[in-house]
Amino acid sequence: MNLLFVRHLTVIDFSFLHPDRGLVGESWIVDVELEGELNEQGMVFDFSHVKRVIKAGIDQFIDHKLVVPTQLPKLAVEQESDQVHLRLELPHGEIGHASPAQALALLDIAEVTPEQVAPVLATYLKELLPDNVRQVHLQLRPEDIDGAFYQYSHGLKKHDGNCQRIAHGHRSRIEILKDGKRCPDLEQQWAETWRDIYIATREDQTAVVSVDGVEHLEFRYQANQGSFYLRLPRQQVYMIDTDSTVEWIAQHIAQSLKQQAPDSQIQVRAYEGVDKGSIAVA
């Protein structure tokens, strides 16, 4: 038996439901090993096809989706035609969500962790590969971040691709320089402010409702893939006046800090997942 490996094949950016934390943005690096017999070319699988086939399969299965562990005890799921409706009770409020089915990954697991998701995803990918590939082994791992990071969810209704899905997210580092000097305290401040947060565009808000005495915000929009809806406790929402692209996010942080220190130059390097993002200077 032979093994073919590719480290850091791709990055999965998604959000998931957690019974206590609520809606959580996440980014995992994917390492893959293919176990099997050599084919007539003397290969387990052509390297040139690994990214095309396996990455495409990963994107289709989980990337830029809301991952829902269907074994959660306080979760309700209903499907009407292609529209899926979710409701999850939290310790202090609830999450409501409706979207086309393609925006969701409903997994028969109890919790969204690398250990529980990896075998489900590997089974799916195995069906995409030739018979000589006997096993797919995946390692899903968060980026090793030495410093501050936040986990946010958002949706970009104007995006042509899968970023239009109202509840997908990222685990992102942040770097802030004040007058050319790195400021870990400011980085940690923003990381705490945006811990497990939904960064919402103000114009997408449609209502304020009370659920069991807890104030919730509702968001709704129509995009190319269909109709999207989200309801969250107010405390889990951070509102901005623009769309929540990483460019606008970096600019928002820089301008907020500039207001606090008008005589200083502020530089913000905001990441969107792993090894990509935007720089804003104010």
Q: How far is CA 187 from the centre of its chain?
A: 20
Beta strands in the chain (DSSP E): 2-18, 22-36, 66-69, 75-80, 83-90, 93-100, 104-107, 133-141, 149-154, 168-178, 181-182, 197-201, 205-211, 214-223, 226-233, 237-240, 266-271, 277-281
Three-state SS at 31:
strand
Query: Looking at the domain assignment, is residue 236 inside a domain?
Result: yes
- With respect to residue 253, please indicate whether it lies within any of the assigned structural domains: no
CA distance 254 to 86: 36
Task: Determine the pLDDT at residue 76.
Answer: 98
Mean pLDDT score of the chain: 96
Contact 10, 56 (CB under 8 A): no
* Span 134-175, pLDDT tens digits: 999 999 999 999 999 999 999 999 999 999 999 999 999 999
For residues 210 and 52, the model is more confident at: 210
Q: Is residue 83 part of a domain?
A: yes
Q: Pick the closest to residue 204 from 157, 251, 152, 252 (CA basis).
A: 157
Confidence of residue 186 (pLDDT cuts 50, 70, 90): very high
pLDDT at 94 over 80: yes
Q: Is 274 part of any domain?
A: no
Residue 24 lies in a domain: yes
* pLDDT tens per residue, range 6-42: 899 999 999 999 999 999 999 999 999 999 888 878 7
Return the CATH number at 34: 3.30.479.10
Query: Is it the case that residue 133 has pLDDT exceeding 90?
Result: no
| Total tally of structural domains belonging to the chain | 1
What was the pLDDT predicted at 272? 98
In a domain, 30, yes or no: yes
| Residues with Cβ within 8 Å of residue 240, at least 6 apart in sequence | 199, 200, 201, 202, 248, 249, 252
Among the listed residues 244, 218, 49, 67, the one whose alpha carbon sits nearest the alpha carbon of residue 150: 244
* Domain around 128: 2-171+203-244
pLDDT value of position 132: 87
Instruction: Examine residue 138 and state whether it is found in any structural domain, yes or no.
Output: yes
Q: Which of 181, 180, 158 is nearest to 242 (CA)?
A: 158
Residue appearing with tokens 């915000």: 217
pLDDT at position 4 is 79
Report the alpha-carbon distance of residue 234 to residue 220 in Å, rounded: 15
204-208 long-range Cβ contacts below 8 angstroms, 24+ apart = 204/155, 204/157, 205/239, 208/234
The answer for residues whose C-beta is within 8 angstroms of residue 49's C-beta and 6 or more apart is none
Domain assignment present for residue 251? The answer is: no
pTM reported for the whole predicted model: 0.95
Residue 247 neighbours by CB distance under 10 Å: 16
- The answer, yes or no, to whether residue 264 has pLDDT greater than 90, is yes
Q: What is the pLDDT of residue 43?
A: 75
- Averaged over 79-94, what is the pLDDT? 95
